[in-house]
Amino acid sequence: MIPLNFEPVIHVFDELDSTNSKLKDLAKTGVPEGTLVVAKKQTKGRGRLGRSWHSPVGGLYISVLLYPLVPKRITDLPFLVGIAVTQTLQQALPKYLEVSLKWPNDVLVNQKKIAGILSEAFDHNEFYGAVVGVGINVNLEPAELAPFEKNLFSATSVQAITGETGTSLEDILTIFKVKLFNLYRVYQEKGFAPIQALWERNCKMIGKKIEIRNVEPKGETVVGNFWGLSERGGIVLEIPGKDKMEILSGELACCWF
């Protein structure tokens, strides 16, 4: 169990290929649950769906090591981390900005992607764990956002959206670690249900018409109403005239707000 007011060990690096890769290496040496790795820049930052994550100086690149009590629920963790990032930005950014979640784990500000999460499971000596990596675009100039534009939602950064140039990465990290371990304690005590409820509360697409591409098993595109988050972290989609369906993998491509 993570104790109240848990203070994680944080390893900070000027440059890494990927904070997720570094933390997986550290996990093999037996570092404890809750260990964080932070880098000022990454040379091979990884994103979801085999994409790269552009990681110049000015962004915040963090990975955290977690060993869930129920190994087969490892897929809950990126939802929990997504809420922690959302709560962090809600606290750190001006209140007129809307910080929200996009399925599965992206964080948006005013409907543009500001942060992404990549969770990678591993096992070491029969311990099943996850390294959950977070990339937040903080002090990135608008021109530096071009590499993100292959994503379906356009990208933003704290600097692009507020005009502020010197947002403190340390301050954001300090807020994030408190939010993260508070949520993790809730999760350890009560399971996924409160996380599911918080996730839904912070997702502004629920109740709206959405399009999801590459839906398994056939890779089709489906359009319907976003009913909610399933108990397994999938989208519950309501297609008029049909039963509700659960979508566990695919790419949310469009939302009609």
Rule CB under 6 A: which residues touch ligand BTN? 18-20, 42, 45-48, 51, 53, 61, 63, 106, 116-118, 133-135
**Is the CB of 45 or the CB of 129 nearer to ligand BTN?**
45
Residue with Cβ nearer ligand BTN (58 or 224): 58
The residue written with tokens 């979508």 in the block is 247
Least distance in angstroms from the C-beta of 119 to ligand BTN: 9
Q: Do residues 236 and 199 lie in contact, with contact meaning Cβ atoms separated by under 8 Å?
A: no
The nearest distance, CB 250 to ligand BTN, in angstroms, is 14
CA proximity to 225, closest of 243, 241, 206, 242: 206
State the nearest-atom distance from the C-beta of 59 to ligand BTN, in Å.
8
Residue 93 phi, psi (nearest 5): -95, 160
Which residue is at the shortest CB distance from ligand BTN?
116
CB of 58 to ligand BTN, least distance (A): 13
Q: How far apart are CA 157 and CA 127, in angstroms?
A: 36
Among 75, 82, 80, 77, CA closest to 114: 82
CB of 152 to ligand BTN, least distance (A): 11
Using the minimum distance from each CB to ligand BTN, give the nearer residue, 173 or 224.
173
Complex with ligand BTN: residue 53 or 79, whichever CB lies closer: 53
List 13's β-bridge partners, or say none.
Answer: 39
**What's the DSSP call for residue 178?**
H
